[in-house]
Chains A and B, each alone.
Chain A
Amino acid sequence: MITKRIIPCLDVKDGRVVKGINFKGLNDVASPVELAEYYSSCGADELVFYDITASSDGRKLFTDILTETARRVFIPLTVGGGINSVDDFDRVLKCGADKVSVNSGAIKDPSLVEKAAKLYGSQCVVLSADIKRVDGEFRIFAKGGREDTGLEAISWIKRCVDLGAGEIVVNSIDTDGVKKGFDLEMLKQVCDVVNVPVIASGGAGAIEDFITLFNSVPGVDAGLAASIFHFGEVQIKDLKLEMKKAGIPSRL
């Protein structure tokens, strides 16, 4: 049976992982390459590298780091951040990324999803959607969750899947950072309308949140989180053992 995936997300700025991290056994906790190796050895099923640099120097550092990580870590790597064109896809795929996630780039130009899917295959194109409740509907936000696009989220996601997106990251702005669990209501609605893998993001605070997620929304394929893994609040090994105990298929 296919296993539910656990995916740590690393925000990278100027070649370093941002957000405070405290790990035993890591010499350089801000080194994306070392952290990626550490997560891979703990049983992470996939890694997301999110490029939050704005400068071209930072971008060059990012691709150098991606290349080095892809040389040393043999699990799927997804890259997001600053993907606005097919050239951006090309740039990160050449450095060893397996999938590329688009967010604001797709909002600006939805045909990017279609073009990239034709060129690299749908399995390579991940749509990342930042969603917030506004006036009783789910709304897509752009620019890191700062700008209401007015787009209704569920139809936007459906449209992108029709254009060729092969996976969806659903990031709930409403639950993000609250650490009281994933946005089950939002995730259910997305799972009802798409037949591609759905990755839940935003709200995980403890192991139980993942168990609840996979038990109550069977259509969700993966859980993504950042700080709870980085701060060591949840150890991936423990999480997977608990998933197994709860009867949720996981790779140990």
Chain B
Amino acid sequence: MTVIVDYGVGNLFSLRSSFAAIGTDVSFTKDPKIVETADKIILPGVGAFCDASQKLRETGMQEAVLNAAAKGTPLLGVCLGMQLLFDRSFENGEYEGLGLIKGDVIGLKDIIPQGLKIPQIGWNALSFTKDCPLFNRINEGDCVYFVHSYAAVGVEDALAATTEYGAIVTAAVQKDNIFGCQFHPEKSGEVGLNILKAFCEDI
């Protein structure tokens, strides 16, 4: 069973609807034990890094996600859920992430030229930087929907896709069984549904 980690962050309505639309049975769980024994794990998240990482620890989900990741369970972080996968975030301070993928999360303002709007809101195209099974069912250049003010840097060989917003911005990452999307696949039309489908069926 694929489980969506419910640790009290964000609205899960759209994710629920997306999985229903691709015909995948998912369960939402607040129980870390269920996360540890899941076949696949989705880590969602919106809002501030600090709040989310705190909630993840308090609910016992951090340990469960790390244990599952260590034994090879495929894990997909979405938006803030992806940012949590990295070593550190510098959103309003400095906070530790899960350390599953090398890299830091920093403000877009320190990545892109001045004058561009922050957050990046809207549809932007994906460039693939490696052969990642998440993209089995989509094409390079397909657009996905972004809403973010922070982005990952120093990702090195885990970088799976980028997008261009005045500079090259990390859009997706993968290291072994750990996957992450900065954009919102649940809001990215058919392309987004095909990414979720690839995670559920091809990985």
- A221 & B21 in contact (Cβ 8 Å cutoff): no
Q: How large is the interface on B (under 10, 10 to 19, 20 to 34, 35 or more residues)?
A: 20 to 34
Q: How far is the CA of A166 from the CA of B187 in the complex (A)?
A: 18
Q: Which residues of A contact B (CB under 8 A)?
A: 1-3, 5, 40, 45, 70-72, 74-76, 93-96, 98, 121-123, 166-167, 195-197, 221-222, 251
What is the interface of chain B, defined by CB distance below 8 A to chain A? 11, 13-14, 17-18, 20-21, 46-47, 117-125, 143, 145-147, 164-165, 186-190, 192-193
Task: Looking at the assembled complex, report how far the CB atom of B194 sits from the nearest CB atom of chain A, in whole angstroms.
Answer: 11
Inter-chain CA distance A93–B193, complex, in Å, is: 21
Cβ–Cβ contact A40 & B189, under 8 A: yes
Q: Which residue of chain A lies nearest to B187 when distances are taken between CB atoms in the complex? A: A76
Please name 19 further chain A to chain B contacts, defined as beta carbons within 8 Å, in addition to the given A94-B11, A122-B119, A197-B121, sorted by A numbering.
A1-B124, A2-B120, A2-B123, A2-B124, A70-B13, A70-B14, A72-B17, A72-B21, A74-B17, A74-B188, A75-B187, A96-B17, A123-B119, A195-B117, A196-B117, A197-B122, A221-B121, A251-B123, A251-B143
For this complex, 16 residue pairs linking A to B, each with C-beta atoms less than 8 Å apart, are: A1-B165, A2-B123, A3-B122, A3-B124, A5-B122, A71-B21, A72-B17, A74-B17, A75-B187, A121-B47, A166-B119, A166-B121, A195-B117, A195-B118, A221-B121, A221-B122
**B13 touching A76 by the CB < 8 A rule?**
no
Name the A residues within 8 Å of B125 (CB-CB). 1, 3
CA distance A1 to B165 in the complex (A): 6
Most buried by A among B20, B120, B122, B165: B122
Shortest A134–chain B CB gap in Å is: 29
> What separation, in Å, do the CA atoms of A71 and B13 have in the docked complex?
8
The closest CB in chain B to the CB of A3 belongs to: B123
Q: Do B123 and A45 have beta carbons less than 8 Å apart? A: yes
Name the residue on A nearest B119 (C-beta).
Answer: A123
Q: A40-B189, A195-B117, A221-B117 are in contact. Are A96 and B123 (CB under 8 A)?
A: no
Cβ distance B144 to chain A, nearest Cβ, rounded Å? 9
Contacts of B121 in A (CB 8 A): 123, 166-167, 197, 221
Contact check, A45 vs B122: say whether CB atoms are below 8 A apart: yes
